[in-house]
């Protein structure tokens, strides 16, 4: 039992590290990618000087994130004169915490066999024995439901923030956030239903394992191959959930100052921003898990590469684990980068267009996709 606890703590530590690191690095990626896309250089002046030397580490402006964090921490935490104290205080956390919790059910690697992995240390290896663990913090049958349950919570945070700061702009932003996020949550849920029909499970790890094979002998059996339509709609709805351009109406700065977090300053505002950046990574991770085969590489299984034509390249357990972990991270980073590409390409919708897009355009498409999927799955099962 203690072994399980140790592994769980290791997983949680890994997940937290990865998420917070993604949150920090993505601010840099966003700045730099936006700059390069528009023929600029991007922030490149912050540096860390090695003490007692004149060596200044610039590292392509990576330290601007640190400078930002420090600025957020040291700024005056200004509070509006009239506000709902409790709601105002907890709102950033209500936005931030669910974003982290969603990662709890996402599998970030295959099966971990600590006994095999730590065979160099016989005492530890014996202690773990034959136990093996899926690389996922919580392997729940209702994994996908948990994702949507926690994903829905951040609406409450945005509404709380807007309502409690007693500011018209905040209120408008909160109302927009509520209307928009509830609409797109529906779309998001419906796009995933097709996958549930195909895989017959809500357990994300089982879903990923079913994506490990090949279709037609050459295509990886990823969700995007079965459901390309749903993948596109899911990504769109997810970006709308994250309230980023082209769907950033709740915080449209040219209309509403900063929307529902107008009255927040210092680290409270930083938490909103941080949650947004971590959610980019979470959306990337969800998309990877559902549509891009999660930690799977084509031809890779738990014992090594099985290439077509009977070639087998056996790999050590440690290598496979590292390969799967890094595959997942690379996929997530690529998806995050793609979201940033979208954010710096498209202009903002008008608010009526946002809702119209959800209810009149995406919802019928989702339903059509669902019906077609259901019919095909039914015919194939007979």
Partner 1 sequence: MNRRPHVRRQYWNAPTMSWWERLYLPEIVRGLSITGGVFVRNMWRWMTLRKGALTTYYPEETRADYAANNRGKHILTQRPDGRPQCIACNMCATVCPAQCIEIDAAFDPDDPAHPKSPSAFTIDYSRCIFCGLCIEACPEDAIRMVRMVPDFPGRDRERMWITLPELLSWNPQSDVAKPYPGKTGTATFRESR
Q: Tell how strand 304-306 and strand 56-57 pair up.
A: unpaired
Range in contact with partner 1 (rule: CB under 8 A) among 33-41, 108-116, 196-204, 265-273: 33-41
Residues 220-249 that bind partner 1 (CB under 8 A): 232
Q: Which of 8, 9, 21, 36 binds partner 1 (CB under 8 A)?
A: 36
Range in contact with partner 1 (rule: CB under 8 A) among 99-107, 172-180, 214-222, 342-350: 342-350
345 near partner 1, judged by CB under 8 A = yes
Tell the smallest beta-carbon distance from residue 15 to partner 1 (Å). 30
Q: Which of 21, 37, 142, 307 binds partner 1 (CB under 8 A)?
A: 37
47 near partner 1, judged by CB under 8 A = no
Tell the smallest beta-carbon distance from residue 346 to partner 1 (Å). 7
Nearer to partner 1, 219 or 341 (CB): 341
49 near partner 1, judged by CB under 8 A = no
* 15 neighbors 103 (Cβ within 8 angstroms): yes
Where do the DSSP E strands lie in 214-360?
Answer: 214-215, 219-220, 300-301, 304-306, 312-314
CA distance 64 to 41: 14
Two tokens at 47?
Answer: 């540096």
Nearer to partner 1, 322 or 346 (CB): 346
Tell the smallest beta-carbon distance from residue 39 to partner 1 (Å). 5
Residue with tokens 């799955």: 377
71 near partner 1, judged by CB under 8 A = no
17 near partner 1, judged by CB under 8 A = no
Residues 350-379 that bind partner 1 (CB under 8 A): 361
Residues 79-118 that bind partner 1 (CB under 8 A): none
Would you call 303 helix, strand, or coil by DSSP?
coil
330 near partner 1, judged by CB under 8 A = no
Q: How many CB atoms lie within 10 A of CB 161?
A: 29
* 256 neighbors 262 (Cβ within 8 angstroms): yes
CA distance 261 to 275: 13
342 near partner 1, judged by CB under 8 A = yes
Nearer to partner 1, 359 or 378 (CB): 359
Is the peptide bond between 125 and the residue preceding it cis, with omega within 30 degrees of 0? no
Q: What is the DSSP string of 115-162?
A: HHHTTTSHHHHHHHTT--EESSS---TTHHHHHHHHHHHHHHHHHHHH
Q: Which of 6, 12, 35, 197 binds partner 1 (CB under 8 A)?
A: 35
76 near partner 1, judged by CB under 8 A = no
Q: Which of 2, 5, 38, 76 binds partner 1 (CB under 8 A)?
A: 38
The size of the interface with partner 1 (CB under 8 A), counted in residues, is 15
* 278 neighbors 19 (Cβ within 8 angstroms): yes
Closest CA to 79 of 206, 183, 185, 165: 165
Tell the smallest beta-carbon distance from residue 329 to partner 1 (Å). 20
CA distance 260 to 171: 6
Contacts to partner 1 by CB under 8 A: 33, 35-41, 232, 341-342, 344-346, 361
């Amino acid at each position: 039992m203690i072994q399980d606890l140790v592994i769980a703590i290791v997983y949680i530590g890994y997940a937290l590290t990865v998420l917070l690191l993604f949150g920090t690095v993505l601010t840099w990626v966003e700045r730099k990618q936006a700059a390069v896309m528009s023929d600029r250089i991007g922030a490149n002046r912050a540096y860390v000087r090695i003490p007692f030397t004149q060596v200044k580490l610039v590292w392509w402006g990576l330290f601007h994130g640190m400078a930002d964090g420090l600025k957020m921490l040291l700024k005056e935490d200004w509070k509006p004169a009239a506000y709902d104290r409790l709601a105002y205080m907890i709102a950033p956390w209500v936005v931030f915490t669910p974003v982290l919790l969603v990662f709890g059910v996402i599998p970030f690697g295959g099966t971990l066999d600590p006994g095999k992995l730590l065979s160099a240390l016989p005492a530890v290896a014996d202690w773990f024995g034959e136990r093996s663990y899926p690389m996922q913090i919580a392997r729940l049958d209702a994994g996908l439901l948990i994702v949507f349950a926690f994903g829905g919570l951040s609406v409450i945070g945005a509404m709380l923030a807007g309502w409690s700061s007693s500011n018209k702009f905040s209120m408008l932003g909160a109302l927009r956030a509520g209307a928009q996020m509830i609409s797109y949550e529906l779309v998001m849920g419906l796009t995933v239903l097709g996958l549930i029909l195909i895989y017959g499970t809500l357990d994300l790890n089982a879903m990923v394992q079913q994506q490990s094979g090949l279709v037609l002998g050459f295509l990886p059996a990823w969700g995007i191959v079965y459901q390309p339509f749903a993948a596109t709609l899911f990504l769109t709805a997810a970006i709308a959930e994250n309230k980023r351009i082209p769907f950033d109406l709740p915080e449209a700065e040219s209309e509403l100052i900063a929307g529902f977090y107008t009255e927040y300053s210092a680290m409270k505002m930083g938490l909103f921003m941080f949650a947004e950046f971590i959610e980019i990574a979470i959306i990337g991770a969800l998309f990877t898990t559902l549509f891009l085969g999660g930690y799977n590489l084509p031809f890779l299984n738990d014992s090594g590469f099985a290439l077509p034509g009977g070639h087998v390249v056996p790999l050590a357990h440690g290598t496979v684990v590292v390969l799967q972990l890094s595959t997942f991270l690379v996929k997530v980073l690529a998806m995050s980068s793609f979201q940033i590409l979208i954010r710096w390409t498209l202009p903002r919708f008008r608010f009526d267009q946002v809702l119209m897009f959800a209810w009149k355009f995406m919802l019928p498409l989702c339903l059509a996709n669902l019906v077609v999927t259901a019919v095909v799955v039914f015919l194939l099962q007979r």
